[in-house]
Amino acid sequence: MTVNCAEEGCDSEATFELHIPWSENEFVCVGHARVRGQQDGVVAEPLDTAGEHMPDGAADRER
């Protein structure tokens, strides 16, 4: 299954699911997962297709 990035104007393959406390979950590409994962409370969870390419901002999921 292939999902496209939810960010407007981006048609990269989504490889991360963003868990957003104040909104619906979104599927985004690794680049946008890295950006969005910087936001407080947002957790970027790699999809199966993402392999081991964790964005820097996604490591602190134990809050």
Q: Which residues bind Zn ion (CB under 5 A)?
A: 5, 7, 10, 12, 29, 32
Instruction: Please state the closest distance from residue 12 (CB atom) to Zn ion, in A.
Output: 5
Q: Which is nearer to Zn ion, 23 or 63 (CB)?
A: 23
Which CB sits closer to Zn ion, 34 or 63?
34
**Shortest CB 10 distance to Zn ion, Å:** 3
Total residues belonging to the chain:
63
14, 30 Cβ separation under 8 angstroms? no
Cα–Cα distance between 52 and 35 in angstroms, integer?
Answer: 17
